[in-house]
Amino acid sequence: DDFEIPFELNALSAHRTPEEVTDFARNAKARGLKVIIAAAGMAAHLPGVIAAQTTVPVIGVPIKSSLEGMDALLAIVQMPPGIPVATVGINAGLNAAILAVQMLALTDEKIAAKFENYKQGLAAKIVKANEELSRISYKFKTN
C-alpha cells in the first residue's frame, strides 16, 4: 500500500485448481498485470506453471513447510531453460514485493521516486542505528 500500486490477490493451486491457474496466467497480460508474485510450498509448482503460460515476469516465493522450505525453494529456482522464475528467499514475500516494485519503477517515474525514498529510509535507519551504537561504551570497545 505504501507505493499505491493496484494489485490482485488470489488463492490458486497448480495441483488443486489447475484450470483456474491456466486462466489466470493466460489472461494476466490482458488484465494489465506487469509482474506476478506466486507463493507456494512443498512441491511448489505454482510459480513455474504460471510462468510457462504467460509472458508476464513471475517472482516465486518458496513457503516453509515440512522440509523447512528447501523443497519449495529448489522446485522454484530450478526451472527449465526458457521458463524463468525470479526466486526470493524462503517466506520472503516482502522481498518479492520490493523486487516487483523495482521492476515497475523502471517504467513509472512516480513509483521510481517512491522507491528511491524507501531505499533512503532504509539507509537512514542504519545510520541512526550506528549513531546509537557509537554512544555505547564498553571497556574493550575500540570505536
Beta strands (DSSP E) in the chain are 36-41, 58-63, 86-87
> pLDDT tens for residues 3-32?
999 999 999 999 999 999 999 999 999 999
> pLDDT tens for residues 31-86?
999 999 999 999 999 999 999 999 999 999 999 998 999 999 999 999 999 999 99
State the chain's mean pLDDT as an integer: 96
Q: CATH number for the 18-108 domain, one of 3.30.1200.10, 3.40.50.1970, 1.10.10.10, 3.40.228.10? A: 3.40.50.1970
pLDDT of residue 134: 87
All three cell numbers of 61? 516465493
pLDDT of residue 12: 97
Q: How far is CA 80 from CA 12, 27, 50, 109, in A?
A: 22, 22, 13, 34
Q: What is the mean pLDDT of residues 89-97?
A: 98
pLDDT > 90? residue 137: no
Query: pTM for the full model?
Result: 0.90
pLDDT > 90? residue 105: yes
CB 3 within 8 A of CB 114: yes
Domain boundaries, the chain: 18-108
pLDDT of residue 143: 74
pLDDT of residue 142: 76
